[in-house]
A and B are shown apart, each in its own frame.
Chain A
């Protein structure tokens, strides 16, 4: 029997049938959404993994470059040299809609287009190592930014996929079977009522005919006549 308590009425049945159709359609749509999200997610996450490996490796390399540079220069000169960098980066943030998930897309703008602006420090007190270190860091920048974009998108999409999957499963394994069960229950109850009514009518008809024509009396009378002859 249906878990939910329902009135076995025709109206309820119609409403339930309509609900079932909506649920099935919703299920199909959500399933399509999930599949498409998954497809895009997998492509993105592969890129994420590759980018992360690249960036981590690059950053470690540039960290060791900086360590080397630091060894040759006094740390005061290094710090002042780096902290007043001539370069400044502005970030423009757009929104990209992937299957209803709003993901950010970043594009960065350098304040000065001059590539050498990363070497803002005085050349007299610094060594070549620092130039190499700054260059290695600068080369990393596009990948680093792309990583931020991809990783954030992956994170958002993973959350959305999980949500969608839960919804699909809830519809598929709980709501739709429950509704079908309820519909079956109402149909059977209505059929049962219908049959009960039919029988009652037949019975009443019999009783009324009996009252009008006195079949039984006549039959017994005829029997008596037959017996007399």
Chain B
């Protein structure tokens, strides 16, 4: 049985604890990368990471992009949506199709802050 983790700064992730996801607090820094590795080794198949932290951990995350598990997914944090998530979807379309055909008209990448 696998588990689901949420990784990010305290304000962004504490709400997930209510529904039974395992939350881990991490600030940008070497400790975050270590924590991510621990989570992967600890049987977490899905790891949600706040966008700002995701950006910081991009290199560590890309190590796992070839494997089916874990799925590491960026989510908007408390500080608002940076558009990183949708940007990633756009990138994978570009990678597969060779051109950006899905987001051509919409203004992807421009996140609105709340």
Does A87 lie within 8 Å of B66, measured CB to CB?
Answer: no
**Chain B residue nearest to A145 in the complex (CB):** B46
Q: B residues within 8 A CB of A79?
A: 14
A141 at the interface (CB under 8 A from B): yes
Complex: how many Å from CA A158 to CA B92? Answer: 6
Q: A residues within 8 A CB of B48?
A: 144, 148
User: Nearest 6 pairs between A and B by C-beta?
Assistant: A87-B20, A152-B71, A158-B92, A158-B96, A161-B96, A91-B2
- Supposing A104-B68, A137-B16 touch, asked if A154 and B2 sit within 8 A by C-beta, the answer is no
- Supposing A60-B114, A147-B73, A148-B71 touch, asked if A158 and B20 sit within 8 A by C-beta, the answer is no
B-contacting 9-mer, from A15-23, A62-70, A178-186: A62-70
Q: A residues within 8 A CB of B85?
A: 52, 56
B-contacting 9-mer, from A1-9, A42-50, A189-197, A216-224: A42-50
Which B residues have a C-beta under 8 Å from some C-beta of A? 1-4, 12, 14-21, 23, 45-46, 48, 65-66, 68-69, 71, 73, 75-76, 78, 80-81, 85-86, 88-89, 92-93, 95-98, 102-103, 114
Q: A residues within 8 A CB of B88?
A: 151, 155
- Annotate A29-57 by CB proximity to B: 1 below 8 A, 0 otherwise: 00000000010011001101100110110
Does B65 lie within 8 Å of A134, measured CB to CB?
Answer: no
Write the nearest CB–CB distance from A184 to chain B, whole angstroms.
32
Does A90 lie within 8 Å of B1, measured CB to CB?
Answer: yes
Judged by DSSP, the binding face of A is helix
The 8 Å CB contact of B19, one of A90, A103, A137, is A137
- Supposing A45-B102, A56-B81 touch, asked if A108 and B4 sit within 8 A by C-beta, the answer is yes
The 8 Å CB contact of A133, one of B18, B23, B73, is B18
Q: B residues within 8 A CB of A168?
A: none
Does A60 lie within 8 Å of B80, measured CB to CB?
Answer: yes
Residues 92-127 (chain A) with a chain B CB within 8 angstroms: 92-93, 95, 102-104, 106, 108-111, 118, 120
- Supposing A55-B75, A63-B78, A159-B95 touch, asked if A102 and B68 sit within 8 A by C-beta, the answer is yes
Does A158 lie within 8 Å of B76, measured CB to CB?
Answer: no
A74 at the interface (CB under 8 A from B): no
Write the nearest CB–CB distance from A161 to chain B, whole angstroms.
4
